[in-house]
A and B are shown apart, each in its own frame.
Chain A
Amino acid sequence: MSDHAADIDRQVRIYITVFVALLALTIITVAVSRYHLPIREAVAVALLVATIKGSLVACYFMHLISERKLIYAVLGLTAVFFAALLALPAITVSDGFWIH
């Protein structure tokens, strides 16, 4: 078997492992929601599990774990603007204390 074929086979085994992990994490998310935690804890748990699942998809299915630097730069810039976008509601909730 060539190195390339062996490498693809190794990746396929990783895909299956990630698949099982994603299914398990989905069940965990739903199970935890049945405990009706207070909203802060519920949001924290839900976002933590979703972030782990999202990272698995991005790193392994989208091959981000072994991508070129330029892609990381594009995504880093996107992350900055995305964070700024999500910060806007927070500013509004706090009466926009620093934009008066």
Chain B
Amino acid sequence: MEIPYTVELRRDTGLTNGKIGIWLFLASEVMLFGALFASYILIRTGAPTWPRGDTILNVPLATLNTMVLITSSVTMVMAWASLARGRFGTFRIYMGATILLGCVFLVVKYFEYSHKFHDGLFPSTNNFLAIYFTLTGLHMLHVAGGMAVNAYFWGPGAKLWKTNPEWFTNRVEHAGLFWHFVDLVWIFLFPTLYLL
């Protein structure tokens, strides 16, 4: 059975089902991270003292990671733009770059985490580290999930381009919306945890 409204727009919503679906999912994600941000505010305002993030965390590495993620957002949107222009080869380059930049982000985070563990700093050490590991850990899972989806569209999922290029372009756009959301979350996590 054919999936309806993958390319043509529904008359009632004016959108494809995929587009409304990904935005509803992102709305739920906003609430997930919102709950954790609210917990952070609650714990921080209730604490008698709170360390500045830059006294414990590595700001230069986090700044590098911020730039890596911003760059990956650009390569992601360029991957979609390449498909919209009918340039599949260019799409592959940009999508490959997006996946590689995601890998760089995770590797940098691995070094950050391992340095903390080496120094005996764990989630159980104090509330600051508990919220730091929870928020950045959940964010890393999202990066890994986004990379898996992007890798699918770079590899086996790209077969759809030959049979239904418009649908494939829409699917890449939806994957991009998730990837940009992950970037957006980091844009708020970075100053909140590392700089304040």
Q: Which residues of A contact B (CB under 8 A)?
A: 4-5, 8, 11-12, 15-16, 18-19, 22-23, 26, 29-30, 33, 39, 42-43, 46-47, 49-50, 53-54, 57-58, 61-62, 68-71, 74-75, 77-78, 81-82, 85-86, 88-89, 92-93
Closest 10 CB pairs of A and B: A46-B191, A33-B195, A89-B42, A89-B41, A78-B27, A19-B74, A85-B34, A61-B180, A82-B34, A22-B70
**Besides A33-B196, A71-B19, A85-B34, 19 other A-B contacts (C-beta < 8 A):** A5-B85, A8-B85, A26-B67, A33-B54, A33-B195, A46-B191, A46-B196, A47-B191, A68-B13, A68-B15, A70-B20, A71-B15, A74-B23, A78-B30, A78-B31, A82-B31, A88-B38, A92-B42, A93-B45
> Using Cβ atoms and an 8 Å threshold, which residues of chain B touch A39?
196
Give min CB distance, B17 to chain A, whole Å. Answer: 12
Q: How far is the CA of A75 from the CA of B85 in the complex (A)?
A: 29
Contact A62 B180 (CB under 8 A): yes
Interface positions, chain B 27-85, Cβ under 8 Å from A, are 27, 30-31, 34-35, 37-38, 41-42, 45-46, 54, 59, 63, 66-67, 70-71, 73-74, 76-78, 81, 84-85
Give min CB distance, A45 to chain B, whole Å. Answer: 9
> Using Cβ atoms and an 8 Å threshold, which residues of chain B touch A81?
31, 34
B14 within 8 A of A: yes
Q: List 7 A-B contacts (CB under 8 A).
A: A33-B54, A33-B196, A46-B195, A57-B180, A61-B76, A74-B23, A89-B38
Within 8 Å by CB of A86, from B27, B38, B67, lies B38
Binding site secondary structure of chain B: helix
B70 (CB) vs chain A CBs: closest residue: A22
> Using Cβ atoms and an 8 Å threshold, which residues of chain A touch B35?
85
Q: How far is the CA of A39 from the CA of B19 in the complex (A)?
A: 40
> Using Cβ atoms and an 8 Å threshold, which residues of chain A touch B106?
none
Contact A85 B187 (CB under 8 A): no
Give min CB distance, B180 to chain A, whole Å. Answer: 5
Give min CB distance, B41 to chain A, whole Å. Answer: 4
Within 8 Å by CB of B81, from A11, A30, A46, lies A11
